[in-house]
């Protein structure tokens, strides 16, 4: 019972820390729905914006492939293509 009480108090104290966070707003473009539904299932979409200054077309392709092959993301080939195209068009470095 004591552990449960501590967990509840800790959660209540942590909630205000999240209150000021703004929701991630990715660029509205074709493929956003695939990114949100596939990528956002496993991790925050903040990673897209955080990594975009370093990613070009080749590295975005490799990143999506890594998520599927190394981490086992259940993404269809069609969705993977749409995700790659979206990331390269909207968050890629030329």
In a domain, 17, yes or no: no
Give the predicted TM-score (pTM) of the model.
Answer: 0.75
- Domain of 43, in residue numbers: 22-91
Q: Is residue 57 over pLDDT 80?
A: yes
Distance of alpha carbon 55 from alpha carbon 48, whole angstroms:
9
Write down how long the chain is: 94
Range 53-72 average pLDDT: 95
Burial of 10 (0-12, 13-18, 19+ CB in 10 A): exposed
Tell me which of 20-24, 37-41, 49-53 is least confident: 20-24
Residue 11: per-residue pLDDT:
65
In a domain, 75, yes or no: yes
Nearest to 80 by CA among 91, 69, 94: 69
Nearest to 48 by CA among 94, 83, 74: 83
Residue 5: per-residue pLDDT:
77
Under the banding of pLDDT at 50, 70 and 90, the label for residue 9 is confident
> How many domains does the structure of the chain reveal?
1
CATH code for position 30: 1.10.760.10
Residue 21: per-residue pLDDT:
63
Tokens of 85: 């195209």
Range 58-66 average pLDDT: 96
What is the separation of C-alpha 75 from the centre of its chain, rounded to a whole number of angstroms? 14
């Amino acid at each position: 019972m004591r552990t449960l009480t501590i967990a509840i108090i800790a959660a209540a104290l942590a909630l205000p820390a999240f209150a000021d966070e703004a929701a991630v707003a990715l660029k509205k473009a074709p493929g956003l729905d695939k990114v949100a539904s596939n990528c956002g299932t496993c991790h925050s979409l903040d990673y897209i914006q955080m990594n975009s200054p370093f990613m070009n077309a080749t590295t975005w392709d490799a990143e999506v492939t890594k998520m599927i092959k190394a981490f086992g993301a259940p993404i269809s080939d069609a969705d993977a293509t749409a995700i790659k195209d979206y990331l390269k068009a909207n968050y890629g470095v030329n």
